[in-house]
Amino acid sequence: MLRGTKVGLRARHEDDIPILRTELYDDVAGSSRAESRPWRPIAPGSKDSRLVVDDKEEGHVPFSVVELDGGTLVGTATLWGIDNHHRSAHVGLGLLPSARGKGYGTDVVAVLCHYGFVVRSLQRLQIETLIDNTAMLRSAERNGFVREGVLRSSAWVMGEFLDEVLLGLLVHEWKAEVGAAGRA
């Protein structure tokens, strides 16, 4: 398990799937904001790639997020679109409604940065999020991500186009940020 200060990122367990299905994916409005594809129902027992992990998929590494105190499942985290040639990847996370507002998002992003930069030896991590997703923007920026641009009207969400913010973090920026935090 990868450990942060509040959460751990571990492999997805079969027992996680019903909770994630009910609390994240069955929420049409929330799932529509989090996914780049249209919402559709997922049948019980389905091998849908949003829930079930394919260990052969090298470019997509999904985790279940658990509280370090007690091991309660609080969400998902993913490094996706991993490009080993350009040494880059995208960061994604989804927290259960009961876990939001507790600082878990910032910790998840920090652990994904460690995984991407230290374990995978990546050069760049990137986040795309809706412009009104203040929690994700705050979590990214607290970890040193820089706003690089706005993708105007790029996300179709529940009947309207929304802007997305593009954020990036390079390994040398992250090392400087980690070093500065360690000296504080």
CATH fold label, 2-183? Aminopeptidase (3.40.630)
Q: Does position 95 have pLDDT exceeding 80, yes or no? A: yes
Cβ–Cβ < 8 Å for 139, 112: no
pLDDT, tens digit (0-9, with 9 covering 90-100), for 71-82: 999 999 999 999
* Burial grade of 184 (CB within 10 A; 0-12, 13-18, 19 or more): exposed
Residue 117's pLDDT band, with cuts at 50, 70 and 90, is very high
Per-residue model confidence (pLDDT) at position 184: 39
Confidence of residue 182 (pLDDT cuts 50, 70, 90): very low
Can you tell me which residue has the tokens 């079969």? 14
Cβ burial of 178 (10 Å; 0-12, 13-18, 19+) is middle
Which pLDDT band holds residue 180 (cuts at 50, 70, 90)?
low
Where do the structural domains in the chain lie, given as residue ranges? Answer: 2-183
Pick 124 or 51 by higher pLDDT.
124
Checking if the pLDDT of 183 tops 50, the result is no
